[in-house]
Structure 1
Amino acid sequence: MKLVEIFDIVKTHGIKGQMVVKSLVNLNHEDLMEKNIVINLGLKKEVLKVKNIKPFKDKYIIKFYDYNNINDVQVFLNKIIEIDSDSIKHHPILLKSFANYTLIIEGNNYSIEKVFNNNAHDIVAFEYQDRNLMIPLVDEFVVVDNKNLTITIKDIAKWL
């Protein structure tokens, strides 16, 4: 079993045991419904089953079976949620891992300033010709080469 970190637990939400989590990966949250996840509590790991997960601003609200009270989930605050990568359809890519990628525009290399998720797509932010640009990481606009750690912008003129 290969565990992958997918969420950082930020805070509780309401009084019924829900928690607000920040995504660490570009993963479709619906893939997590009814899945077992792991919360690392230091000396032990707690296995929980996802009852519900839904978008909430730039984060998600997650609810687990058997946890129905805010006091029951306090122990999970500021912990990391992990999942067995074999239990989900698509292997998640860590958002922070794009920092090691090189951005290629018209054959020239550029540095990636930031990668973030807007709940629809991962977005790459960078400086190009004294402009700050942001482009969604979707096939229509970019080619992501995970083997060579590059992101190639297909047609920069569309964004200028």
Structure 2
Amino acid sequence: MELVRIGKIVNTHGIKGELRILSDFEFKDKVFKKGVKVYVGKKKKEFIINSYRFHKIFDMVTFEGFNNINDVEYLKGDFVYVNEEDLNLKENEILKSKLIGFDVIIDNKNIGKITEIFWAKANDVIRVNENILIPYVDEFIEKLDKENKKIYVKNVRGLL
């Protein structure tokens, strides 16, 4: 089982066991819903999401069987994980973290490997080697070849 970090419990909310999770996970719609199994903390304790709502910048959840603030207070500060297999990603979907090490191809020329992916206010950006930054948006991504670990980039005139 390969676990993927989806966020961090930053606080409780109210007295009925609701938790505030800060998350920038790209597939929130697949994990933040009733019945999904998540794992929390260093020991990866298993919980089942009982309820979910979005509030301000937080993903708010309750876990089955935990209906009181005293039951969940100890989880503050812990990271939340999900089993990657449970995401049921489609053929054209990939976790951003899995792109690290992919070759970047422009005009049939390998310009280097993805070394980092980060959020830059408006969208994700991929760093190629140490000095090339490319927005990770449909306008620039032509094709993603997961099998051969290659990403084909287009419309880069002016970026490089």
**TM-score band, normalised by the shorter chain?**
0.5 to 0.7
What is the match of residue 61 of structure 1? 59
For residues 7-156 of structure 1, the aligned pairs below 5 Å read 7-16=6-15, 17-23=18-24, 25-27=25-27, 29-32=28-31, 33-41=33-41, 45-54=45-54, 57=57, 60-65=58-63, 66-76=65-75, 77-83=77-83, 85-86=85-86, 88=88, 90=90, 93-106=94-107, 107-117=109-119, 122-126=124-128, 133-138=133-138, 140-142=139-141, 143-156=143-156
Q: Which runs of 5+ in 2 are unaligned?
A: none
Shift of 1:151: 1.2
Report the TM-score, using the length of structure 1 for normalisation: 0.67
C-alpha RMSD over aligned residues:
3.6
**Residue 90 and residue 70 in structure 1: after superposition, are their counterparts in 2 closer, same or farther (change >3 A)?**
farther
Measured after TM superposition, the shift of residue 153 of structure 1 is 0.6
Tell me the number of residue pairs that the alignment of Structure 1 and Structure 2 aligns: 152
Mapped partners of 1:55, 1:123: distance in 2: 26
User: CA separation in 2, counterparts of 1:119 and 1:18?
Assistant: 26
TM-score, length-scaled by structure 2: 0.67
Q: Give the Å deviation of 1:158.
A: 6.3
Determine if contact 2:52/2:60 at 8 Å carries over to the other structure.
Answer: yes
Q: % of aligned pairs identical?
A: 18
Segments of 5+ residues of structure 1 without an aligned counterpart are none
Aligned pair in 2 of structure 1 residues 135, 43: CA closer, same or farther (>3 Å)? closer
The DSSP-based 3-state class of the residue aligned with 1:156 is coil
Q: Could you tell me whether the CA contact under 8 Å between 2:12 and 2:73 is conserved in 1?
A: no
